[in-house]
Chains A and B, each alone.
Chain A
């Protein structure tokens, strides 16, 4: 009679060990639902670069037929996403400066030591302008009337935003928080399939671009061996890009390539997270 509880205990412990990934997934989902979990991966980037869409794709909900493209996010979005064996709590911080984004950044970088990775989403200047008044003002009053001018403007703003993110990473390191990896996700590659190499080169630490300069400064200050850094191309949502009279057609070459890019991204994140 006394042997029964012990065998039950051993058996249930063994089952729990076997199902540890599922249990951890459920636990993370519970934490996400209650908004009590600590951020493992933070997704950052300027507004309209595709952070929410990318995360929805990784979460799997964007493949659903009823899913609709999200509008500007004003709240921090939390998702429990299984990347590799384990589930991570991924938080998407709105690109705009606001009370919500400030609280989200502070929670991820300053409140605890659970943050493992930073995903910085960029789009090589193909950031759409969501507001028509602003669009008109940019074209008519600011002289940003061609796609190239818009790209240059967006790249400048992206660089300014990236500098702020790098400052946060450096600050976190100086406070003893060890962020293991940083992934620069080059989104919307379907808009520039022939120039993907150029884009990757622009964001790579090996180039002499201002972006690479900032990245190298950060890597040097925190120690290149302390943080893994990589650049991954992705196309979270394929759609044409319009600016004034210019149109760029989406041309990735099929959904197989899109899936392959996502597979590579997930493999890289799970490899980094190990």
Chain B
């Protein structure tokens, strides 16, 4: 078997790669949670708009609050509710924009993570092979394995 003339993969290089993967993975998880909570927010906003619109119906107000509303009062209330639903609608648009921005970031981060996934395993094999005879590296190899098994690459 031919002997290889190689520049050893250092502990720092491996550590750097794994640290980056950990950071990216955590970042993706945070962004995904953000997206999920924003989606819930949008659902709640939509529900509140529907409630506002329903409450605008005069017979609903009369039935639920036992008050007779004159046409002028109803005009004022409906205008207020229109403004309120408009504000909520604007908030929905703003939240959706935030969601799509976060999704783009997730996509970009996932690409980085996929690249890291392909790189780390190869570098890890090289590192293990290089440090095979070095007893002190046993712990570092085990540490790398444990750190990698905590990273969510999916």
Chain A positions within 8 Å of B, measured between CB atoms, are 47, 71-72, 74-75, 94-102, 129-131, 133-134, 137-138, 141-144, 146, 148-149, 152-153, 156-157, 160
B119 at the interface (CB under 8 A from A): yes
Chain A residue nearest to B13 (CB atoms) is A137
Residue of B114, B119, B122 with highest tally of chain A CB at under 10 A: B122
Task: With A146-B2, A156-B125 given, name 15 new contacts (CB 8 A).
Answer: A74-B117, A97-B145, A97-B148, A97-B149, A98-B117, A98-B149, A98-B154, A100-B153, A131-B115, A131-B119, A134-B122, A141-B6, A152-B1, A153-B129, A157-B129
Chain B positions within 8 Å of A, measured between CB atoms, are 1-2, 4-7, 114-115, 117-126, 128-129, 145, 148-154
In the complex, what distance in Å separates the CA atom of A97 from the CA atom of B6? Answer: 24
Tell whether A99 pairs with B122 under 8 Å between CB atoms, given A74-B154, A142-B6: no
Complex partner residue of B124 from A94, A97, A144, CB under 8 angstroms = A97
Tell whether A75 pairs with B154 under 8 Å between CB atoms, given A102-B149, A138-B122, A149-B4: yes
Tell whether A157 pairs with B145 under 8 Å between CB atoms, given A96-B117, A143-B5, A148-B2: no
In the complex, what distance in Å separates the CA atom of A144 from the CA atom of B148? Answer: 25
In the complex, what distance in Å separates the CA atom of A71 from the CA atom of B129? Answer: 26
Q: Which residues of A contact B120 (CB under 8 A)?
A: 96
Nearest chain A CB to B125 CB, angstrom units: 4
Chain A residue nearest to B126 (CB atoms) is A142
Nearest chain A CB to B134 CB, angstrom units: 15
In the complex, what distance in Å separates the CA atom of A152 from the CA atom of B2? Answer: 9
Tell whether A100 pairs with B121 under 8 Å between CB atoms, given A71-B114, A131-B115, A143-B6: no
In the complex, what distance in Å separates the CA atom of A134 from the CA atom of B148? Answer: 18
Chain B facing A: main interface SS: helix
Nearest chain A CB to B16 CB, angstrom units: 13
Tell whether A100 pairs with B4 under 8 Å between CB atoms, given A131-B115, A134-B118: no
B121→A95 contact, CB < 8 A: yes
Chain B residue nearest to A146 (CB atoms) is B2
28 A-B interface contacts by CB (under 8 A): A71-B114, A95-B121, A96-B121, A97-B121, A97-B149, A99-B152, A99-B154, A100-B152, A100-B154, A131-B118, A131-B119, A133-B119, A134-B118, A134-B119, A137-B123, A138-B122, A141-B6, A141-B7, A142-B4, A142-B6, A142-B7, A142-B126, A143-B6, A144-B6, A149-B4, A152-B1, A153-B126, A153-B129
Q: Which residues of A contact B6 (CB under 8 A)?
A: 141-144
The 10 closest A-B pairs by CB, nearest first: A131-B118, A97-B148, A74-B153, A143-B4, A134-B122, A157-B125, A142-B6, A102-B149, A98-B153, A96-B121
Q: Which residues of B contact A153 (CB under 8 A)?
A: 125-126, 129
Chain B residue nearest to A156 (CB atoms) is B129
In the complex, what distance in Å separates the CA atom of A249 from the CA atom of B83? Answer: 71
Q: Which residues of A contact B150 (CB under 8 A)?
A: 99
Q: Which residues of A contact B5 (CB under 8 A)?
A: 143
B149→A47 contact, CB < 8 A: no
